[in-house]
Chain A
Amino acid sequence: MEVNLQKRLGDFSLDVAFDMPSGGITALFGRSGSGKTTLVNMMAGLLRPDSGVLSIAGQILFDSAQGVNVKPEHRRVGYVFQEGRLFPHLSVKANLYYGRRFAPKGERYVEPGQIIELLGLNALLTRRPATLSGGEKQRVAIGRALLSEPRLLLMDEPLAALDAGRKSEIMRHIERLRDEVGVPIVYVSHSLDEVARLANHMVVLADGGVIATGSAVEIMSRPDLSPHTGRHEAGALIETRVEGHDSFGLTALAFPGGVLRVSGLDLAAGTAVRARIRARDVAIATAPPKDLSILNVFHGRIAEMIPSGTAAMDLQLDVGVKLWARITARSAHELGLAPGKEIYALVKSVAIDRHSLGLAEPPNRD
């Protein structure tokens, strides 16, 4: 999928160009005002770009040079809006099936029963949108978009209006869609937790331009992007596999740097899990620590040191994978830290909460 679009809206101008893999979840990440919604509206055909090219699954949807601009109803791009946008006068069932009649019979891959089951909508079918909770509305909106057989699904901050409990519930559903339905998804968000948990690929937007694009693991581990990803959220994303569970209720996650112990996960051994370790949750010791409550100790070297703000220092650590640690400049000075120096990185198990973990096994439809 190729995206190369330009648009001026008053004082704001958007100019983006990037390629997107045709499988898994691509996160469009950026603060509010960075142009995320403008971009997805152009992808859906709801907003006409000034110039550029957009092609999805080998079909050109917009090309200013050739005068191509496919109408939204012919794009087969599903759209899950932030506010749901369910039709208030129709039942849940009628909402779900609204777009189905327009999907070409020969190109259907979605089984409505399976989607309704997967999103847990069976009990809601006869209800009206006004009687649904926020989380239920969003599940119906996702189902409605999928039943129209989209070749690409856009999700514009689908969790923004939900409380934390509902968020994690919907994220579970989105993970299952990614793994079981296989429709490529563009997921717009300004929450690093959501992106870390769901995304395979990431495009970072700021002020209407693309700052970085690449795999989620790679992008999320770059501290130079922390002004855009949020200073307090900076950290590393690592790929792990469930090794086992101990009798104290902890789960061991194996990764190239050792074993990361986190609060118990209800997952079978061998399951791939992504863990995000925030830089501010990592402490540094220069000698093997003893008599310490922290279970996660990884031996490695300092790769790089970058001052962050006035009193802090970001350390890139090589412990088999890349980790980041944010410590005070004073500690760095007193410990005599320098690139190349051997260190022990300490990570509190409880710092890795459920929100920092995601199942990571995307299907590939390339």
Chain B
Amino acid sequence: MFALTPLESEAILLSLRVAFWSMLISLPVAIAVAWLLARKSFYGHALVNGLVHLPLVMPPVVVGYLLLLLLGRNGALGAWLFDWFGITVAFTWRGAAVASAVMAFPLMVRAIRLSLENVDIRLESAARTLGAPPLWVFATVSLPLMLPGILTGAMLAFARGFGEFGATITFVSNIPGETRTLPIALYSLTQVPGGESGALRLLILSVIIAMLALFASEIMARRVRARMEG
């Protein structure tokens, strides 16, 4: 009764893998973009800000189709990736990770940007007067102080990646064992007669996993706070 069927464990492991990699690849980019938006004023600031937020306001299907056009085997970027590196993104689990990363990107940037804006810029100038070059200051002062926001952003991105559906199914379709993540598996079950009980099991599983992720991030955030308050 409680044992997972091979289909279920396959879907869960795939979702976890997609969520983990989408979080990992977007984290450094999100930190860089958040820093750019929070600390630099440049021509086109509003445009970059708008682009970053686009996935949040666009229908996921549109994002997925856009990715297909761009990263598909015949897409501008996709063809280049295949010709030079032999990497195929469309219709693979890597594509699912990319789709999740794009969809989660605005959430991540927002959380990290907020924490960066709360970092006292005067602490950074204090570090400069002590002889530390800007990159060192960022790594040893700004980054540790942003940690709560980075954790929040990473957690949001992970959750978003775990549950991403619209962009994923449009971009990489529904291939068992390759791109059939937990939400797509759930959707498939609701489309066939007699799939209700299987769908319900997946629903309960996803609730449990989401709760676990929340707890884990809360515990980490608490530890970080405790360290700062000494």
Q: Determine if A72 and B230 form an interchain contact, defined as CB atoms under 8 angstroms apart.
A: no
| Interface set, chain B 129-176, CB cutoff 8 A to A | 129-134, 140-141, 144-145
Instruction: Report whether A128 and B228 are in contact in the complex, using a CB–CB cutoff of 8 Å.
Output: yes
Q: Does A99 contact B (CB under 8 A)?
A: yes
**A76 interface hit (Cβ, 8 Å):** yes
Q: Which residue of B lies closest to A91 (CB)?
A: B230
Q: Mark B65-88, 1 if CB is under 8 A from A, else 0.
A: 000000000000000000000000
Q: Identify which of B3-11, B15-23, B42-50, B120-128 touches chain A.
A: B120-128
Which 9 A-B residue pairings sit nearest by Cβ, starting from the closest? A128-B230, A99-B130, A102-B131, A85-B126, A72-B128, A79-B129, A148-B130, A99-B131, A89-B144
- Contacting residues, chain B, for A91 (C-beta < 8 A): 230
Q: Does any Cβ of B come within 8 Å of A88's Cβ?
A: yes
* A81: Cβ under 8 A from any B Cβ: yes
A81 touches B230 (CB 8 A): no
| B40 located at the interface, meaning its Cβ lies under 8 Å from any Cβ of chain A in the complex | no
Residue pairs across A and B with Cβ atoms less than 8 A apart, 10 shown, are A44-B129, A46-B128, A72-B129, A73-B128, A73-B134, A79-B126, A88-B228, A99-B132, A102-B131, A128-B228
Q: How far is the CA of A78 from the CA of B129 in the complex (A)?
A: 6
* Structural contact, B145 and A88, CB atoms closer than 8 A: yes
Interface set of A (CB-CB < 8 Å, partner B): 44-46, 71-79, 81, 83, 85, 87-89, 91, 98-99, 101-103, 127-131, 144-145, 148
Q: Assess whether A89 is in contact with B131, with CB atoms less than 8 Å apart.
A: no
Q: A127-B230, A131-B230 are in contact. Are A89 and B132 (CB under 8 A)?
A: no
Complex Cα–Cα for A88 and B48 (A): 32
CB neighbours of B125 from chain A (8 A) = 46, 72
B131 adjacent to A87 (CB under 8 Å)? no
1/0 per residue B196-209: CB within 8 Å of A? 00000000000000
Tell me whether chain B's interface is mostly helix, strand or loop, or mixed: helix
Q: Are B227 and A89 in contact (CB under 8 A)?
A: yes
Residues of B within 8 A of A87 (CB): 123, 126-127, 141
A71 to B145 CA separation, bound complex (whole angstroms): 24
In Å, the complex CA distance between A128 and B125 comes to 20
- Name A98's contact: one of B127, B144, B145, B229 (CB within 8 Å): B127
Tell me which residues across on chain A come within 8 A of B129, comparing CB atoms: 44-46, 72-73, 75, 77-79, 99, 145, 148
Within the complex, which residue of A99, A129, A148 is in contact with B230, where a contact is CB–CB below 8 Å? A129
Most-contacted residue by chain A among B120, B128, B141, B229 (CB, 10 A): B128
Interface residues of B in 100-138 (CB under 8 A from A): 120, 122-123, 125-134
Task: Find residues 166-218 in chain B having any chain A CB closer than 8 Å to their own CB.
Answer: none
Query: What residues on A are CB-neighbors of B126 within 8 Å?
Result: 79, 81, 85, 87
Docked complex Cα distance between A201 and B227 (Å): 43
**B230: chain A residues within 8 A (beta carbon):** 91, 127-131
Q: A85-B126, A88-B145 are in contact. Are A73 and B132 (CB under 8 A)?
A: yes
Q: Which residues of A contact B145 (CB under 8 A)?
A: 88-89
Q: How far is the CB of B185 from chain A (nearest CB, A)?
A: 42
Partner of B123, one of A78, A85, A99, A102: A85
In the bound assembly, the distance between CA atoms of A75 and B126 in angstroms comes to 13
In Å, the complex CA distance between A75 and B132 comes to 11
B228 adjacent to A98 (CB under 8 Å): no
Q: Which residue of B lies closest to A127 (CB)?
A: B230
- Assuming A87-B123, A88-B145, A89-B144, is B131 touching A130 (CB within 8 A)? no
Distance between Cα atoms of A157 and B140 in the complex (Å): 27
Distance in Å from the Cβ of B105 to the closest Cβ of chain A?
A: 27
With A and B bound together, what is the CA distance between A148 and B128 in angstroms?
11
State the CA gap A130–B227 with chains docked (Å).
10
Contact B227 A76 (CB under 8 A): no
Determine how close the nearest CB of chain A comes to the CB of B122; give it in whole angstroms.
6
Q: Which residues of B contact A73 (CB under 8 A)?
A: 128-134
Which residue of A is nearest B141, CB measured?
A: A87
CB distance from A112 to the nearest CB of B (A): 14
Chain B residues whose C-beta falls within 8 Å of the C-beta of A129 in the assembled complex: 230
Residue of B nearest to A83 (CB): B122
Q: How close is B139's CB to chain A, nearest CB, in angstroms?
A: 12
Residues of chain A lying within 8 A (CB to CB) of residue B227: 89
Q: Is the CB of A144 within 8 A of B130?
A: yes
**Least CB distance, A88 to chain B, in whole angstroms:** 5
